[in-house]
A and B are shown apart, each in its own frame.
Chain A
Amino acid sequence: MEDYIVEMRNITKRFPGVVANDDITIQVRQGEVYALLGENGAGKSTLMSMLFGMYQPDLGEIRIAGKPVRFRSSNDATAHSIGMVHQHFKLVDNYTVAENIVLGVEPMKKAAGFLPCVDMKTANREIAELSKSYGLEVNPTDRIEDLPVSVRQRVEIMKMLYRKAEILIFDEPTAVLTPQEIEFLLKIIDGLRQSGKTIILITHKIEEIRKIADRCAILYRGRLVQVLDVRSTTTQAMANLMVGREVDFNPHKNPADFRGTVLEAEHLVVRNANRFEVVKDVSFRIRSGEIFAIAGVAGNGQVELADAIAGMTHIAGGSVKLCGQDITELPVRARTEAGIAYIPEDRQGMGVFLDFNLGENLALRKYYREPFAKKGILQFRQFETYANDLIERYDIRCGQGRRTPLRSMSGGNQQKAIIAREIEEHAKLVIFVQPTRGLDIGAIENIHRQILAERDRGTAILLVSLELDEIMELADTIGVIYNGELLKVADASTLTSHDVGRYMMGVKES
C-alpha cells in the first residue's frame, strides 16, 4: 500500500440545510501539488477547513502520515505541520511583515539579562533568510498596510513556512491577483514543491491546475466525482466534470451594432470619505449595444466610478447624462427609474439582504410599485408569481423556492438572483462590477452569455472587471483606469491583452 501524507476518509459534513461534504475520500502523496477543483458551493473550502481543524467532520476520519488525528482547533493542525492561506488574509494591518509572521510564536530574549521580550532582530533576520530561500521577495520590516495584495499573500505563505508547515493549503490564491502576479505565485508554489512540501490547492480555475498541479480531485455538489492525473486529461474534460455538463468555452459574439449614445460622463470627479480624489476627471461615453469595459488593477477607482454613476456615491465634479437627461444630482431610486441597473461588486453587503428570502430580494427594484404594492400594501401573491418566474427562467437553485433565505444560498446563486433582478429592469444602462468574481466556470459562462444577450438587445453596458480575460472576451471598447484616471480608451479590436496589461501598470503612451 502506498504511503499518503494526508488521508481524509469518508468525510461527511453537514450544515443546517446542506450537506457540504458527502462521503468524500481524498489521499495526498508527499511532495505533490494536489488540486481540489469544483464549482462554488461544491464543498472544497469546507473539506480543507476540516483538514485545518476549523471544523470537525460529522463522519469519517483524517489521517496524517498514516496516523488518525482529531483536530479540535487550527492549533492542533499547525502542530501537525499543516498550514493554510485563507481567501481572506488574516493579517494585522498596522504591524510589520515580521511582526505578523512571528505573532504567537515570537522568538524571545532576555533584555538586561532578565526581562523577557520579543527578539525582533532575530525574527527579521530569520524571515529575510526564509524569503530569500524561497524567492518570495518580502521585506520583513514593511508595514502590511503599505503592501499590495500579492505581497500580503506571500506574507501569509511565510507565516506557514515559519511555523515549519509541511502541508500547505491554498484557498483560491489567485482570485485577487493580476496575470503577472499569478505567474509569480505559481513559480513560488513550484519552488515549494521542489523543496519537498506537499501542497493542496483549492481553485476553480482550470488553467492554473494545468500549469502547476500533479493530480486533481473534482468535487461536484458536495461529492467527489473523480481524481485525475492532470497530465493525461484535457481542459475540456475537467471543465465538464466540474460543472456536471458540457461547457462552451467560446461564447458566440455577434458583430457590434452601436446606436445612439446612452451614457455620457464628463470630467467626473469622485472623492472618498477622506476627501481624497479617487476618480479624477474621467470622461467617456457608452452607446446603445456597446460593452464598455474598464480594466485596471484593483483599487484604482473603478468601483467608485461605478458607484458614482449608480448614485451610491456623491459626484464631486463633472456631470453624468443618461440619454441626454442630466442625472448628476439624482438620488438612487430616480436613477433606477431613469434606466440604470447595477450589479455591485459587494454582492452580499450591497446587492442583497441576506436575512430576507429570495422572493423579497428578487423584488427589490419593484416592491413599492404596482402591482407589487397597492396603496402602500404589499401584494405577496405578485411577489410569488414574479419570483417563481425568475427562479425558473434564470435557473436560480434554491432549496425552498422563493422562501429560501438568501443567506443559505451559494454565492453563485446569489449572484444569479441579483443579475436576474437587474436585467429584468430592462434598463438602458446596466453596470456590471466584477460580475463573475469567485464564481465557477459554469456560472461564468452563463453570466457572460447574459451580458452579451443584453448587449445584443441594445442595452449599453459598463463592465468593470479585474479579470483581463473577461474584458478581452466581452468588451467592444476598453478603458484602462490607473490611479483614478482613464489612461487609455480604445476599440477592443485594436488592443492586445499585453497592451492593456501595460496600461494597467500605469505606462502611458510613448
Chain B
Amino acid sequence: MKKAESSHRFAALLDSERWSGITVPILSLLLSLITASILLLILGKNPLVAFLSFLQGSGFVAKSSYGGGAGMLTDFFTFLNVLAPMLLASLGFVVAFRAGLFNIGIAGQMLASGFLATAFIGYSGMSAWAAKPLVILVGAAAGGLLGAFVGFLKYRFNIHEVVSTIMLNYIVSYLTGFFINSKFADPLTRSMKICSNEARLSWTNVQISGMKCSLPLGILLAAIAVVAVKFLFDKTVFGFELRAVGRNPLCARYTGIKVGRRIVAALMLSGILAGLAGVTYYCGYYNTIVPKSLSSMGYDAIAVALLGNSTPIGCIFASILITIFQNGSNYMSSTLGVAKEIASLITGILLLFSSCGGYFRYLAHRKLEEARDKLTAAARAGTETPRNSADGGTKEEK
C-alpha cells in the first residue's frame, strides 16, 4: 500500500503542470545514466568511477594528480571554453526552430565566420582592444549574412532551408579549405595559421592561484545571448511574431505578419548566433581551422537545443550536461582504459531518453487516471447497479 502511494506521488510529480518541465528531464537523465552504467558494467568497468572521471575531466571535481602548472581551475576554464560555443550554437538553433525553421547550417556558419574573422582580423596586428570586438563583429556579420541568404532562398525561391543549409555546409567547407590550403596554411601543421593572441577570444596562460588557465570571453557572450534570446521570445513583439510564424504560417499571414520577412530575420538571427559560436570556437577555444572539416559541434548543438526543450534556459543545462560528457571523455578514457567514444554513446542514449519525455509524462498521466477510475468504480459498485435510462427517465447524477 505504501509502495503504491509513493509511486502515485512520483507520477503526480511527473504529470504536474508546474514541475514536469524539470522532473521529466531528470528522469530521462537518470534512465540514461543507468543504461550507460549497464554498458560500462558489461565492459567490466566501474560506472561510478567513469562518471566521476567525466566530472574530473571538466574541472568539477579534483583529479588525483595534475601536471605542472595545471589544476582544477584549468580544467574548469577549458570546460567553459567548450561550453560557450556549444551554448551559442544551440541558441542559434533555438531561434530558428521556434520560428518553425530547421537550421542544419550551423556548422557551416560557424566555419565561415571563424575563417573570415581569422583571415581578416587574426593576422592584422591590431591591438587587443580593436581586434577582439572586430572578431566578434566579423563573426556575427558572416554568420548573419549566410543565415539571411538561406532565408532569402526560402522566401524568394521556396527552397527548403534543410536542403540549402546542407549544401551551404559543403560549399563553405570546401571554399574555406581551398583558401586555407592556398593562402593561410601553416607549413608544419597543414591547418590554418593561428590567429594572434590579440585577436583571440580567450586569454591564455592566465595565472589564477598558481594555475595556468585560459579565460574565455565567449562565455560572457553566451550568457548575454541567453538573456537576449529569452527576452526576445518572452517579451517582444518581434519574438511573438517569430513564434507565430513558427506555429502556423497561414494564421500568421492572416494576422498581418509579413511571413517571408520574419523567416529571413529568424534565419539571420540564428546565423548571427552561429557566427558568434564560430568565432568563440575557432578563435577562442581552438586557435586554428583544419581545412575541409566541419566541427561536429554544429550538429551536436541541434541535439542540445532539443534536449533543452528549445528554450534558452533549457539550453544552458543541456549544453552543460553534454559538454561535461564530451569534454571529460579524454580523462575518462585514460583513467578507465575504454575508448573515449563511449562518451558519444552516452550522449546518444541521453538524447534517446529525453526524446521520450512526452511519453513518460503520458504514462504518469495514465497511471493517475487509472487509479482514480478504480476508486470511482469501487465506490459505485458499493452503491448502485447500472441504471436503465433508455425509457425516458431523466438522469440526475451525484
Which residues of chain A have a CB within 8 Å of any CB of chain B?
4, 9-10, 12, 14, 16, 22-23, 25-27, 58-59, 61, 223-229, 310, 312, 331-333, 336, 342, 344, 346, 349-356, 360, 364-365, 367-368, 373, 376-378
Contacts and interface: CB of A to CB of B under 8 A. Distances in A.
Contacts of A12: 373, 376
B254 A353 contact: no
B236 interface: yes
B203 to A, nearest CB: 36
Contacts of A14: 369
Nearest to A26: B390
Given A23-B397, A312-B254, A354 B248 contact: yes
Contact of A336 (B244, B256, B387, B395): B256
Nearest to A361: B251
B244 A353 contact: yes
A365 B235 contact: no
- Nearest 3 A/B pairs, CB to CB: A333-B256, A27-B390, A9-B386
Interface in B384-398: 386-395, 397
A356 B247 contact: yes
A364 B255 contact: yes
Contacts of B243: 356
B352 interface: no
19 contacts: A25-B386, A225-B395, A226-B392, A226-B395, A227-B393, A312-B253, A331-B256, A336-B256, A349-B248, A350-B254, A351-B251, A354-B248, A356-B247, A360-B240, A365-B255, A373-B237, A376-B237, A377-B236, A378-B236
A23 B379 CA distance: 13
B245 to A, nearest CB: 10
Contacts of A365: 255-256
B220 to A, nearest CB: 24
B8 interface: no
Contacts of B256: 331-333, 336, 365
A26 B380 CA distance: 18
Tell me the dominant secondary structure on chain B's binding face.
helix
B166 to A, nearest CB: 28
A223 B251 contact: no
A296 B257 CA distance: 31
Contact of A350 (B251, B258, B369, B377): B251
Interface string B225-248: 000000000011110110110011
Contacts of A23: 397
A378 B235 contact: yes
B365 interface: yes
Contact of A368 (B237, B254, B369, B370): B237
A350 B386 contact: no
B159 interface: no
Nearest to A344: B254
A59 B254 contact: no
B250 interface: yes
Given A10-B386, A26-B390, A378-B236, 18 more contacts: A9-B386, A10-B380, A22-B397, A59-B373, A61-B386, A226-B395, A227-B392, A312-B253, A312-B254, A332-B256, A349-B250, A350-B250, A352-B251, A356-B247, A360-B240, A367-B240, A368-B241, A377-B235
Contacts of B241: 368
Contacts of B250: 346, 349-350
Interface of B: 235-238, 240-241, 243-244, 247-248, 250-251, 253-258, 365, 369-370, 373, 376-377, 380, 386-395, 397
A14 B240 CA distance: 33
Given A59-B377, A227-B389, A368-B237, A349 B251 contact: yes
A25 B387 contact: yes
Given A23-B397, A332-B256, A58 B236 contact: no
A312 B253 CA distance: 7
A216 B251 CA distance: 39
Contacts of B387: 25
A376 B238 contact: yes
A235 B241 CA distance: 48
Nearest to A34: B390
Contacts of A342: 254
A12 B373 CA distance: 9
Contacts of A58: 369-370, 373
A225 B251 contact: no
Contacts of A376: 236-238
Nearest to B231: A377
A120 B206 CA distance: 83
B237 A223 contact: no
A377 B397 CA distance: 50
Contacts of A353: 244, 247-248, 251
Contacts of A364: 251, 255
A376 B237 CA distance: 5
Given A25-B387, A59-B377, A332 B248 contact: no
Given A367-B240, A373-B237, A224 B251 contact: no
A362 B185 CA distance: 59
Contacts of A16: 365
A10 B398 CA distance: 13
Contacts of B369: 14, 58
A248 to B, nearest CB: 24
A272 to B, nearest CB: 16
A69 B365 CA distance: 26
A227 B391 contact: yes
B240 A378 contact: yes
B254 A4 contact: no
A356 B387 CA distance: 42
A377 B240 CA distance: 10
A352 B253 CA distance: 11
Contacts of B394: 225-226
A332 B254 contact: yes
Nearest to B392: A227
A332 B393 CA distance: 54
Contacts of B258: 331
Nearest to A400: B17
Nearest to B380: A10
B389 to A, nearest CB: 5
Contacts of B392: 226-229
A61 B244 CA distance: 44
A373 B235 CA distance: 9
Contacts of A354: 247-248
B253 A367 contact: no
A4 to B, nearest CB: 7
A61 B395 CA distance: 18
Contact of B389 (A224, A352, A378): A224
B97 to A, nearest CB: 14
Contacts of A225: 394-395
A352 B255 CA distance: 9
Nearest to B256: A333
Contacts of B393: 227
A351 B236 CA distance: 22
A49 B390 CA distance: 20
A461 to B, nearest CB: 19
Contacts of A336: 256
Contacts of B244: 353, 356
A373 to B, nearest CB: 5
A362 to B, nearest CB: 12
A413 B390 CA distance: 31
